[in-house]
Amino acid sequence: MRVIYRGCAVVAAVAVAAVGLVFVLPSRSDEVVAGQIAAPSAVPASSGPAPSPSPPASPSASPSPSPTESLAAATPRPTPTPGTSLAPGYTAMEALYADIRVPRLPARPKRLALRAPGKRVIEDTRSGLAVPRLGGQWKRHGAAPFTTKQVLPIKRGSTRRGVFVTCPLPIEEQAEPRDTALLAARWTLNHHPKGAKISWIASQPVKGGWMLVYQVKYGKRSARSAVAVVDGGMAKPGLAFASVPDTQRSRWADVTRAASGVRVLK
């Protein structure tokens, strides 16, 4: 019996020792795990939100004009002065302003008393105009290259004579009737001697257009001239042009009568 009791005592002692070993091992394991959790992260925390990526440029967006291009587009071209050299692409009015043969109109141009066309008229169906049929020594004449033409007889010793013609406008029409008449007056210099220059006498509106009266000087000679540009309801306005040289100055009054008597053909 004693042997049995001693054996039980030994078994009990071994069991107690095993229980103590079990409680010691888990406590050491808990310390390692706790230490790993408390360790600081190796990556530093960000001080703010991460920047978002920039959106890609739209392929359909048109590039903005450069400051130089914007300034050039906003700056109007200066008006040329007589004798100015013009760059390519100039307009008809810029060519007029640069022409030393055609001065600027006065700020307050003179106006003349307009005269009625009278009962006798000549009809120009191409330009849609009716013009006075001038009396006295004025005679109808072959019109080409115009559509109607009246002339004075050539005086002995002279090569020039008075003419009064009409035709559809032979130059580019402008937005303003006065500008169109100015270009027409410049065009009439083609029918005067080389070197001819204009000096203005009168500028005024007429029904359906504009009239200009001017003196044309060439060397020691001159001529009284006038143009009237009137809308006759055709594709282009009609032009009436009268000019009388100083060798026939007694007929200068006819120049104003001819231009002021232009009417729309009804």
Q: What mean pLDDT do residues 34-63 have?
A: 43
The residue behind tokens 């006295």 is 136
pLDDT bucket at 195, cuts 50 / 70 / 90: very high
Q: What mean pLDDT do residues 235-254 have?
A: 97
Q: What is the identity of the amino acid at 31?
A: E
Nearest residue to 263 via CA among 133, 71, 152, 175: 133
Task: Check residue 23 and give its pLDDT.
Answer: 38
**Range with the lowest mean pLDDT among 85-89, 198-202, 212-216, 248-252?**
85-89
Q: Which of 13-27, 38-52, 78-92, 216-230 has the highest mean pLDDT?
A: 216-230
Helix (H, G, I), strand (E, B) or coil at 143: coil
The residue behind tokens 């002339």 is 151
Q: What mean pLDDT do residues 229-238 have?
A: 97
Work out the number of other CB atoms within 10 angstroms of the CB of residue 90. Answer: 15
Q: Supply angle C-alpha 182, 178, 120, rounded to 5.
A: 90
Task: Check residue 39 and give its pLDDT.
Answer: 37
Q: What mean pLDDT do residues 20-44 have?
A: 36
Q: What mean pLDDT do residues 28-51 have?
A: 37
Contact in structure between 168 and 152 (CB atoms under 8 Å): no
State which H helix or E strand residue 177 sits in: helix 177-188
96-140 residue pLDDT tens = 999 999 999 999 999 998 887 788 999 999 999 999 999 999 999
128-185 residue pLDDT tens = 999 999 999 999 999 999 999 999 999 888 889 999 999 999 999 999 999 999 999 9
Task: Check residue 63 and give its pLDDT.
Answer: 55
The residue behind tokens 């359906």 is 208
Q: Does some domain include residue 100?
A: no
Mean pLDDT of the chain: 79
Q: Does some domain include residue 248?
A: yes
The residue behind tokens 């007029």 is 96
Q: Does some domain include residue 252?
A: yes
Instruction: Name the phi and psi angles at 183, rounded to 5.
Output: -65, -35
Helix (H, G, I), strand (E, B) or coil at 121: strand
For residue 262, is pLDDT > 70?
yes
Work out the number of other CB atoms within 10 angstroms of the CB of residue 5. Answer: 9
Can you give the CATH number for the domain in which 259 is found? 3.40.1000.10
Domain that holds residue 237: 109-264
Q: Does some domain include residue 39?
A: no
CA distance 116 to 130: 12
Return the DSSP state at 206.
Answer: E
CA distance 240 to 166: 4
Q: Looking at per-residue confidence, does 119 or 46 come out higher?
A: 119
State which H helix or E strand residue 13 sits in: helix 2-38
Q: Does some domain include residue 76?
A: no
Q: Does some domain include residue 46?
A: no
- Which tokens go with 129? 């105009």
CA dihedral for 133, 139, 143, 149, sign (positive or negative): negative
Q: Does some domain include residue 172?
A: yes
The residue behind tokens 């042009």 is 241
For the chain, report the end-to-end CA distance as a whole number of angstroms.
Answer: 160
For residue 46, is pLDDT > 50?
no
Total domains in the fold of the chain = 1
Q: What mean pLDDT do residues 210-221 have?
A: 97
Q: Does some domain include residue 205?
A: yes
- Which tokens go with 173? 């029409």
Percent of residues, the chain, with pLDDT higher than 70: 70
Task: Check residue 247 and give its pLDDT.
Answer: 95
pLDDT bucket at 201, cuts 50 / 70 / 90: very high
Task: Check residue 76 and give its pLDDT.
Answer: 63
